[in-house]
Amino acid sequence: MRRAIDTLFGRLVVIVIGMLVLSHVAWFAIIRFERDNVQTRFAVEEAVFLVEAVRQHITNTPDQPLPPRVRLVALNRPDVPKQPDEDTPPPLQRFVEDLKDRLPDGTEVRLNEPGGPPSVWVHGAKDDGWIVVPVQPLRPPRSRDRMLVWLALIFSTAVLAALCGAWQLQYPLRALAQAVGRFGRGQPTPPVPERGPRELRQLTHGFNQMVREVSQTENDRAVMLAGVAHDLKTPLARLRLRAEMMDDEKMRDGVVRDVDSMAHIVDQFLVFAHDRPDGSEPVPVDEQCERIVRAYRAVAPGAQPIRLKLEAGPAFVLPAASLDRLLSNLLDNAHAYGAPPVVIETRREAKGWVLSVSDHGRGIAPEDLIKASRPFVRLDPARGGSGHSGLGLAIVERLARRAGGECEIGNRAEGGLQVAMTFPFDTATRPAQERRAGPQHEERAL
Confidence (pTM)? 0.46
The confidence score (pLDDT) of residue 302 equals: 63
Task: Report the chain's mean pLDDT, rounded to a whole number.
Answer: 77
The domain made up of 278-445 has a fold known as Heat Shock Protein 90 (3.30.565)
pLDDT tens column, 297-311:
776 666 668 889 999
**What is d(CA 353, CA 422) in angstroms, rounded to the nearest whole number?**
6
The confidence score (pLDDT) of residue 272 equals: 60
Specify burial of residue 241 (Cβ count, 10 A radius: 0-12, 13-18, 19+). Answer: exposed
One-letter amino acid at 182 equals R
**What is d(CA 302, CA 398) in angstroms, rounded to the nearest whole number?**
30
What are the residue ranges in the chain where pLDDT is below 70? Answer: 1-8, 36, 115-116, 138-147, 185-186, 221-231, 264-279, 299-304, 371-392, 427-446
pLDDT tens column, 11-49:
777 777 888 888 878 877 777 777 767 777 888 888 888
For the chain, give every domain's residue range: 4-134, 278-445
